[in-house]
């Protein structure tokens, strides 16, 4: 049996890991032994433990409890502890997800100890090196033995960088998750009724990226855009703790007067809100895709996106942090045609099984060499 050390630390990773962990447990448990490591990057109860409970995946065997701090300090502490864990656990490979500091720390620790790195969501590029996530992606891809691409364009990005070995287009694990949990969210979530939004057109918004929240100008423009939409429809904004603190520091709370503010939501409640929304306004990569999976128009408050397929299909509009463009894109989105969601650029919902099988094939070949 092969031991796989899975490194996760943030909400999007918990969601992606749920799909692969389920595939391992359901179909590959006699070959793969997964040990889940939570770095602690998201340590709020609503942003971590509740996800493992709701998504019904094994609780982490280890929690490193490395809480938020500067990028360098956080990554350094994770790197040190993951290295110790690799030495004690002696895994056959490390499995990492996405673009966080947890991902980079796992990749660096494993590569320096000559342990194979398997990267889910490899090859994505925003081509904005000011984004910490972009740096994390590029460095993690560079040291990975298996690179699991969610789309053809992600594989093309890797090829352009000279990375062709170990690359597989498997589809998007988040599509796997969406297919599994959408009906469950409708069944279990009561949030829309509790917010008195049943049968009402409303807009769901999220904002958390440092490029937006660390800038007074960008954050104020975003909040003005949301406030303008709130003059027409209710705007529901689950507020990331860091974003909330920065809004207070910038003295922008007055722009939230007509916005429905919520704490970070459990996954099923978030999916239910996404399904019922008339539009979604976000700077999140994961929420962009979830909007697409739900057939809901998306307005992305960034200057670029890794999920170019959604833009090409007309299901997603990039506005940057510009209040006027945000409002205009929202108004235009209300006439979107349903055909925009007919394409299937993110696979067939079987990415997780493909990933597990590729891992087994790689480790079998390594053992036989």
pLDDT (0 to 100) of residue 62: 85
Quick one: average pLDDT of 40-58? 64
C-alpha to C-alpha distance for 109 and 176, rounded to whole angstroms: 29
Cβ contacts of 73 within 8 Å, gap of 6 or more: none
pLDDT band at 49 (very low <50, low <70, confident <90, very high): low
- Given a cut of 90, whether residue 121 has pLDDT beyond it is yes
| Residue pLDDT, tens place only, 145-159 | 999 999 999 999 999
C-alpha to C-alpha distance for 4 and 8, rounded to whole angstroms: 13
- Given a cut of 80, whether residue 338 has pLDDT beyond it is no
Average predicted confidence (pLDDT) for the chain: 92
pLDDT (0 to 100) of residue 56: 74
- Given a cut of 50, whether residue 65 has pLDDT beyond it is yes
Lowest mean pLDDT across 6-20, 35-49, 78-92, 126-140: 35-49
Catalytic residue among 38, 42, 208, 240: 208
- Given a cut of 70, whether residue 20 has pLDDT beyond it is yes
pLDDT (0 to 100) of residue 266: 86
pLDDT (0 to 100) of residue 47: 46
pLDDT band at 61 (very low <50, low <70, confident <90, very high): confident
- Residue 180, CB half-sphere, CA atoms under 13 Å: how many? 20
- Given a cut of 80, whether residue 350 has pLDDT beyond it is yes
Q: Catalytic site residue 208? A: yes
What domains, with CATH codes, occur in the chain? 2-172+347-368 (3.40.50.2000), 184-341 (3.40.50.2000)
pLDDT (0 to 100) of residue 342: 87
Helices assigned H by DSSP within the chain: 11-27, 49-55, 71-89, 101-112, 132-142, 152-160, 173-188, 191-194, 210-213, 216-230, 241-249, 267-276, 285-294, 308-312, 323-333, 351-368
C-alpha to C-alpha distance for 162 and 11, rounded to whole angstroms: 31
- Given a cut of 50, whether residue 75 has pLDDT beyond it is yes
pLDDT band at 44 (very low <50, low <70, confident <90, very high): low
Q: Is 117 helix (H, G, I), strand (E, B) or coil?
A: strand
DSSP summary character for residue 46: G
Quick one: average pLDDT of 69-98? 93
pLDDT band at 89 (very low <50, low <70, confident <90, very high): very high
Q: Is 319 helix (H, G, I), strand (E, B) or coil?
A: coil
* Tokens linked to 307: 């999920």
Radius of gyration of the chain (CA): 20
| Residue pLDDT, tens place only, 236-255 | 999 988 899 999 999 999 99
| Residue pLDDT, tens place only, 256-308 | 999 999 998 988 999 999 999 999 999 999 899 999 999 999 999 999 999 99
| Residue pLDDT, tens place only, 166-195 | 999 999 999 999 998 898 899 999 999 999
- pTM metric for this prediction: 0.87
pLDDT (0 to 100) of residue 59: 77
C-alpha to C-alpha distance for 154 and 343, rounded to whole angstroms: 17
Nearest-10 crossing angle of helices 241-249, 216-230:
100
Locate tokens 């704490």: which residue?
263
C-alpha to C-alpha distance for 166 and 37, rounded to whole angstroms: 24
């Amino acid at each position: 049996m092969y031991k796989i050390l899975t490194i996760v630390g943030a909400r999007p990773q918990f969601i992606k890991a749920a799909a692969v962990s389920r595939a391992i447990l359901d179909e590959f448990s006699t070959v793969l032994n997964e040990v889940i490591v939570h770095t602690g990057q998201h340590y709020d109860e609503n942003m971590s433990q509740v996800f493992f409970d709701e998504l019904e995946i094994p609780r982490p065997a280890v929690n490193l409890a490395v809480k938020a701090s500067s990028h360098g300090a956080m990554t350094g502490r994770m790197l040190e502890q993951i290295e110790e864990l690799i030495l004690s656990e002696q895994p056959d490979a490390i499995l990492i997800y996405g673009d966080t500091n947890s991902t980079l720390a796992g990749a660096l620790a494993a590569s320096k100890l000559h342990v194979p790195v398997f990267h889910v969501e490899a090859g994505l590029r925003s081509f904005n090196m000011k984004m910490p996530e972009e740096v994390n992606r590029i460095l993690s891809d560079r040291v990975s033995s298996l690179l699991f691409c969610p789309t053809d364009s992600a594989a093309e990005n890797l090829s352009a960088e000279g990375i062709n070995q170990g690359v597989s287009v498997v589809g998007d694990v988040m599509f796997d998750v969406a297919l599994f949990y959408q009906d469950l969210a409708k069944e279990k979530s009561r949030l829309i009724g509790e917010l008195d939004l049943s049968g009402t057109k409303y807009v769901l918004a999220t904002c958390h990226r440092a490029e937006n929240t660390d800038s007074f100008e960008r954050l104020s423009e975003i909040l003005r855009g949301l406030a303008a939409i709130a003059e027409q429809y209710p705007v529901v904004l689950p507020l990331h703790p860091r974003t909330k603190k920065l809004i207070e520091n910038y003295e922008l709370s007055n722009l939230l007067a007509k916005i429905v503010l919520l704490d970070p939501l459990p996954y099923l409640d978030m999916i239910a809100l996404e399904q019922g929304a008339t539009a979604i306004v976000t700077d999140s990569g994961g929420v962009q895709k979830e909007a697409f999976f739900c057939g809901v128009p998306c307005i992305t408050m960034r200057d670029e996106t890794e999920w170019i397929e959604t833009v090409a299909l007309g299901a997603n509009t990039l506005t940057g942090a510009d209040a006027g463009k945000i409002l205009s894109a929202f108004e235009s989105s209300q006439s979107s045609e349903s055909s925009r969601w007919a394409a299937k650029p993110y696979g067939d919902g079987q990415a997780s099984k493909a990933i597990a099988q590729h891992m087994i094939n790689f480790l079998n070949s390594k053992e036989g060499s």
